[in-house]
Every structure is written in C-alpha cells, then in structure tokens.
Chain A
C-alpha cells in the first residue's frame, strides 16, 4: 500500500494468499507483532516478485496489501465500518 501497483504471477499470488490467511488469523488473535511480520513479508514478496506497473497505466488492483506500520487499533479501525480514511465528500 502506498508504493504503486505491481503485476504478479500465479505462483506469487498463491504464496501471497497463504500469507494473507495467516495475517488474518494474527489479527483475529490480536497478535500485533505476528501481523506486522506477515504484512511485511507480503509487501516484500510483491516488491521482489512483482513487476512494477507503468505510471500511466490505470488499472484497478485485484488486491491491496495493508500497510504494516499501523498499530493494532489503527488496523481495526481501518477495517471497521467507518474506516480510517477521513470522509472527504464535500
């Protein structure tokens, strides 16, 4: 998140989904250090195995890796109804 878009092969997507499941479980357990570790691994995997999309290509992402530097409370708020992002509608 916040680093641009990447294109991933099927193999990498599979590994990413595995990490995602573990990250979800860590969040359910309120285990912040585990959660951060998995999110960091996910971001590293995307950076390493992904191909960066050119900046003038406008495509929706299939998935977005959440940032790992949020606190547990921030992460929960982010996924709550309201969301962490402020309401910007005029």
Chain B
C-alpha cells in the first residue's frame, strides 16, 4: 500500500471515529453539521494560539533589541574606566543577545507561515461547511433513506478530509509552540538557579561591577575635591597667620 492510500485511510479513520453515525440519515446529517461547526471552532482557536505565540516572541524580540544599545553603553563605560574585562563581558553578552534575536526571527517567520496556511484552511473549511449545510437540506428533501446515506457518506468524507488535514496542522503548530515554551521555561530555570545570568534583568553582575566602578570614581573625585578644599583651607589659615 502506497503512502497516499495510507494517508487517506488515516484521515478517514479519524473522521469516522469523530462521527459515530446515527441510523437515521436526517439525524446523521444534522449531527455531522453540528460537529463540523465544533471542529471549525477548534481550528479558529488553534489559529488564535499560533497568533498568541507569535506575539509573545515579538515581545521578546523587542525586549532584546532595547538591550543591545544598553550593553554597548556598558562596554563603553567599562572601557572608560579601564576595565577591559568588563567591556569584554558586556560585548559577549551583546553577541549572545544578537544570536537569540536571529533565532527568534526565524521562529516568528515559521509561525507566520503557519498562521497563513491555517487561515487559508479555515476559509476553505468554512466554505465547505456552508456547502454541506445547503446540501444536507437538499439531500433530506430529495432522497430516500438509503440513497441519502450514500450521499451523506460522500459529502461528509469530503469535509472530513479537510477537517483532519487542518486538525493535523493545528496539532503540529501546538506541538511547536509547546516546544518553544518548554525551552523558554528551561532558560528561566537556569537563570533562577544562577547557572546562567539573565542579561535582560536589571542588576546583573556586570551592572553591579560597573556601578562599583562608577561609584569608585565618584568617591575618588569627591575625595580629590575634599582634599583640594582642605588644603586650600589650610593655606588660607596659614596666610591668615602670616598676616597677623
């Protein structure tokens, strides 16, 4: 048996499991239609999930993008303070952020492609479900019970294939989204346990060291200023003494 016929078999098995048929064709028709509407709802929900996942990634992208100039600035400050080690750390972090951005862009593109494909399927499916609704009324009115059963089988299978197709696509989109979420959660965990430093959170080790450097130079400057004031004060006194 070839792959195409096996695929058809899988798809049909899925749809007939979905539709446990009633004896009365009229009931089957209405029931099929109800279930089709239900499935269509699921498809819409699946598309919404993909859109949500994409939005989340886009937000992460924005956050990373605002991080880049900050890391640049930190590197500059560190260099100005003669701390090349810190500057290097900031730039390494920047390179890592850029890598992350690239992979996020790729994932966003993937999701966008999936969204387009699913939206197309949803449109086609809506049209088919509507056609089924019209046909089922005709079938009910025009055919004997036995003939109707055959007609229903054909129409329902025609829709069922598309439904199964789309159901599969939705399932795979959700799997992908879950994988991405699992990865994001894994990184979060590493950050929390301190294994990885989160370059996006404020108050990282780098930030603290830089703050120390600038605090240190602030202290030095203040000290110099105070020393200057003191010695000029001393000189003033000495001068006063001399003139007395």
Contacts and interface: CB of A to CB of B under 8 A. Distances in A.
Among A3, A5, A16, A60, the one with the most B-chain Cβ atoms within 10 Å of its Cβ is: A60
B135 A58 contact: yes
B110 to A, nearest CB: 10
Interface string B6-36: 1110111110011010000000000000000
Given A56-B127, A88-B167, A89-B17, A23 B3 contact: yes
A64 to B, nearest CB: 4
B76 interface: no
Contacts of A79: 3, 6-7, 10
Interface size class of A (residues with CB under 8 A): 35 or more
A24 B3 contact: yes
Interface size class of B (residues with CB under 8 A): 35 or more
B154 A60 contact: yes
B121 interface: yes
A87 B70 CA distance: 49
Interface string A7-46: 0000000001100110110010000000000010010000
Contacts of A62: 8
Nearest to A21: B2
B17 A63 contact: no
A55 B7 contact: no
Given A58-B132, A59-B154, A60-B157, A85 B127 contact: no
A56 B138 CA distance: 14
Among A3, A56, A58, the one with the most B-chain Cβ atoms within 10 Å of its Cβ is: A58
Contacts of A85: 10, 14, 164, 167-168, 171
Contact of B128 (A20, A39, A58, A64): A58
A24 B131 contact: no
B131 A87 contact: no
A60 B42 CA distance: 22
Interface in A49-90: 55-67, 70, 74, 78-79, 83-89
Contact of A66 (B4, B39, B161): B4
A88 B162 CA distance: 15
B158 A59 contact: yes
B14 A83 contact: yes
Contacts of B135: 58
Given A2-B165, A5-B161, A63-B5, 7 more contacts: A23-B3, A24-B2, A58-B155, A58-B158, A63-B8, A65-B3, A78-B10
Which 8 pairs from chain A and chain B are nearest by CB? Answer: A56-B131, A60-B157, A58-B158, A55-B127, A63-B4, A20-B2, A58-B155, A64-B7
Interface of A: 1-5, 16-17, 20-21, 23-24, 27, 39, 42, 55-67, 70, 74, 78-79, 83-89
5 contacts: A1-B168, A57-B158, A79-B10, A83-B13, A87-B17
